[in-house]
Copies of this chain bind each other. A is one copy, B any other.
Amino acid sequence: MDAMQEVLIIRSSGGQAEELTDQVAVETACILKVNGETLVTLLCTPSELEAMAVGFLLSEGLLQSRQSFLSVTLDKKNTAVDIGLKDLPADWQRLFHRKTITSGCGGGITFTDTGRRQAGPEGRGTMQVPASVVPELLQKFRHVSTLFMKTGGVHSAALADLEGNILFFSEDIGRHNAVDKLIGKAFLSDLRLDDKLLVSSGRISGEIMNKIVRSRIPMLVSRAAPTCMAIAGAEDHGVTLIGFARGQRMNVYTHPGRILFNV
């Protein structure tokens, strides 16, 4: 299934109308199954569905270790992904549903649970990057985001190393899905995440930050704004959070010790 589709539209300019074809982002419903049982349906861009499903289960905490992962299978119609897991608690479906219900669309709840506070930045790697890596990385990120340029309707996200090289790139109509796709691809490729940067085109909410925290990514960069819940989560869990990264400028909200500024 293509991630874009042509549609016939009327473009009006100063009240003058003309008919033309335009590209729009395709949005599809993907059923996520665990051991053959339907867990949830995600509305998403129809690409990298296996990675998205694996990343979703990692982000939600249902998949906690490499040992419990058995398989991932996309059906032939590209509408359902089935993930084989072992060592699940007997009441995993009930646990998942309760979590979804009590925390909106998954996530966020960790940050109100102060008992779970983790150590500072030391807990997730002592990497440091020169401040100049961020604008260089953003420039590569923009070039790579072709789907966005065509439809204006999707979010992109990328995983990069400490030199600012993009290792994985994903796009989706949902900010959350784009991040889940990256986390899933890293898991399926055995890529460690505690020395990587994640770049997102979208705003950073508490839910996104929850995914970053769970996957032990130490640094998150966005062109857009964070919410205060995302900042609180980053502060508590030792994530370096950079927002409004545009051109040579950026705002560092938490744990600036990982950035080497000019002295």
A12 CB contact (under 8 Å) in B13, B226, B261: B261
A64 at the A/B interface (Cβ < 8 Å)? no
A146 at the A/B interface (Cβ < 8 Å)? no
Question: Beyond the given A25-B227, A43-B207, could you list 10 further A-B residue pairs with CB under 8 A, ordered by the A residue number?
Answer: A10-B256, A12-B261, A24-B227, A27-B108, A29-B109, A40-B102, A43-B206, A152-B244, A153-B226, A174-B205
Interface of A is mostly: mixed
Copies of this chain present: 2
Give the distance in Å from the alpha carbon of A25 to the alpha carbon of B224 in the complex: 12
Q: What residue of chain B has the Cβ atom nearest to residue A229's Cβ?
A: B27
- Whether A26 and B227, one on each chain, are in contact in the complex, defined by CB atoms closer than 8 angstroms, is yes
A22 at the A/B interface (Cβ < 8 Å)? yes
Chain A positions near chain B (C-beta within 8 angstroms): 5, 7, 9-17, 22, 24-29, 38-43, 97, 100-105, 108-109, 112, 130-132, 134, 151-153, 173-174, 203, 205-207, 224-231, 244, 248-253, 256, 259, 261-262
A5-B228, A225-B151, A261-B12 in contact; A205/B173 too (CB < 8 A)? Answer: yes
- Whether B103 and A12, one on each chain, are in contact in the complex, defined by CB atoms closer than 8 angstroms, is no
| B residues less than 8 Å from A13 (CB atoms) | 248-249
- Whether B29 and A103, one on each chain, are in contact in the complex, defined by CB atoms closer than 8 angstroms, is yes
Give the distance in Å from the alpha carbon of A9 to the alpha carbon of B249 in the complex: 13
| B residues less than 8 Å from A253 (CB atoms) | 7, 9, 24
| B residues less than 8 Å from A16 (CB atoms) | 261-262
Q: In the complex, which of the residues A5, A17, A231, A262 has the most CB atoms of chain B within 10 Å of its own CB atom?
A: A17
Q: A243 → chain B, closest Cβ, in Å?
A: 8
- Whether B132 and A15, one on each chain, are in contact in the complex, defined by CB atoms closer than 8 angstroms, is yes
- Whether A10 and B251, one on each chain, are in contact in the complex, defined by CB atoms closer than 8 angstroms, is yes
- Whether A100 and B103, one on each chain, are in contact in the complex, defined by CB atoms closer than 8 angstroms, is no
- Whether B173 and A12, one on each chain, are in contact in the complex, defined by CB atoms closer than 8 angstroms, is no
A153 CB contact (under 8 Å) in B43, B101, B109, B224: B224
